[in-house]
């Protein structure tokens, strides 16, 4: 069994919401979350740029000894998963698109709110069509939303922006939050669109409840500013988290704590 942490990667706070849920549910298991905030937002980038960034992130995890990685990011899952599996053939990758749509059942019209790069990939429409070809899927991109969340913007500003999307996302049975940043503002989204939402968190918890997990310390690392990520986590999750820079994490430190 792999005794090293499972890597979790996203451009920032969305991945933290997944890490936090996994860490809470499996507190003795070992996770290493990389918030790649220096490259945020991923959603405005081209497929080629996203692949290049993700290859860099996985190479960094790989030199730490990590061999299993959860892409806690729809944008990376929809644009880079195949390339990562091809480039790092001896590693295991978990994407989150198929996992997120797995609880769909009787819905007729499903909305997907996601980043521009995720919508451009068509990954949600394709994934839903595989299991539910009868469902009508409408995908809408919310370009500024990740930036608004990362910059800890006021709820009123976020609400006003979401209202501008109301005419594109109407008469839905369910709205999928197709970006891991969005569950952080779930009550605002549900009130603006007046619809029940689905997100990736519970399906991911279910996925990992079926796996044997390594025990040991968990890590929160950022590619940008640890002090700012600590502040963001404190404000949005009311957690006093220890946050490391990439330079502070070495293969020695990781293996010493397992
Ligand atoms: N949280 C990510 C996602 O699920 C990335 C958002 C971004 O950086 O644009 O797509």
Model confidence pLDDT, tens digit, residues 8-51: 999 999 999 999 999 999 999 999 999 999 999 999 999 999 99
Q: What value does the mean pLDDT take over residues 45-69? A: 97
Element (H, E) at 40: none
The ligand 1 atom at the shortest distance from the C-alpha of residue 15 is: 1
Active site residue 257: no
Indicate the pLDDT class of residue 252, thresholds 50, 70 and 90.
Answer: confident
Catalytic residue among 53, 71, 73, 158: 73
The ligand 1 atom at the shortest distance from the C-alpha of residue 43 is: 9
Say what the pLDDT of residue 111 is: 98
The ligand 1 atom at the shortest distance from the C-alpha of residue 14 is: 1
Task: Map tokens 């608004």 to a residue.
Answer: 148
Which residue's CA lies nearest to atom 2 of ligand 1?
A: 73
Does residue 254 register a pLDDT over 90? no
DSSP-derived secondary structure for 139-175 = EEE-TTHHHHHHTT--HHHHHHHHHTTTTTS-S-SEE
Q: What's the whole-number average pLDDT of the chain?
A: 96
Question: Among 8, 9, 11, which is best to mutate for testing ligand 1, by the most ligand atoms less than 8 A from CB?
Answer: 11
Query: pTM score, two decimals?
Result: 0.96
Measured between alpha carbons, how far is 206 from 214 in angstroms, rounded to an integer?
17
Model confidence pLDDT, tens digit, residues 181-213: 999 999 999 999 999 999 999 999 999 999 999
Measured between alpha carbons, how far is 128 from 101 in angstroms, rounded to an integer?
7
Measured between alpha carbons, how far is 192 from 121 in angstroms, rounded to an integer?
26
- On whether the CB atoms of residues 211 and 146 are closer than 8 A, the answer is no
Ligand 1 center–CA 252 separation, angstroms: 30
Exposure letters 129-158 (e unless 16+ CB within 10 A, then b): eeebeebebbbebbebbbebbbeeeeeeeb
Ligand 1 center–CA 1 separation, angstroms: 30
Ligand 1 center–CA 43 separation, angstroms: 6
Ligand 1 center–CA 180 separation, angstroms: 6
Q: What value does the mean pLDDT take over residues 142-162? A: 96
Does residue 2 register a pLDDT over 70? no
Q: What value does the mean pLDDT take over residues 71-98? A: 98
Indicate the pLDDT class of residue 118, thresholds 50, 70 and 90.
Answer: very high
Crossing angle of helices 201-209 and 13-25, in 10° steps, is 40
Say what the pLDDT of residue 1 is: 47
Pocket of ligand 1 (CB under 6 A): 10-11, 14, 40-43, 73-75, 115, 118, 146, 179-181
Catalytic residue among 179, 184, 233, 254: 179
Say what the pLDDT of residue 106 is: 87
Indicate the pLDDT class of residue 253, thresholds 50, 70 and 90.
Answer: confident
The ligand 1 atom at the shortest distance from the C-alpha of residue 114 is: 10
pLDDT over 70 for what percent of the chain? 99
């Amino acid at each position: 069994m792999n005794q090293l942490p499972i890597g979790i990667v996203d451009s920032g706070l969305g991945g933290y919401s997944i890490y936090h849920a996994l860490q809470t549910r499996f507190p003795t298991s070992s996770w290493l979350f990389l918030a790649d905030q220096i490259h945020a937002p991923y959603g405005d980038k081209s497929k080629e740029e996203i692949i290049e960034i993700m290859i860099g992130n996985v190479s960094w995890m790989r030199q730490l000894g990590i061999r299993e990685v959860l892409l806690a990011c729809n944008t990376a899952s929809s644009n880079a998963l195949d390339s990562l599996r091809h480039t790092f053939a001896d590693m295991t990758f978990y994407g989150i698109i198929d996992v997120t749509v797995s609880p769909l059942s009787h819905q007729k019209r499903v909305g997907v709110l996601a980043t521009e790069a995720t919508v451009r990939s068509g990954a949600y429409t394709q994934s839903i069509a595989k299991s539910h070809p009868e469902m009508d899927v409408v995908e809408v991109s919310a370009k500024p939303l990740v930036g608004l969340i990362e910059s800890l913007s006021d709820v009123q500003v976020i609400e006003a922006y979401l209202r501008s999307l109301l005419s594109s996302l109407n008469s839905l049975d369910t709205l999928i939050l197709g970006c891991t940043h969005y569950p952080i503002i779930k009550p605002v989204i549900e009130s603006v669109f007046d619809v029940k939402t689905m997100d990736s968190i519970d399906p991911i918890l279910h996925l990992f409840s079926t796996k044997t997990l390594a025990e040991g310390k968990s890590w929160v690392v950022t590619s940008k500013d640890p002090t700012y990520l600590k502040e963001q986590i404190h404000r949005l999750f009311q957690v006093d988290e220890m946050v490391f820079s990439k330079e502070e994490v070495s293969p020695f430190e990781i293996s010493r704590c397992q």
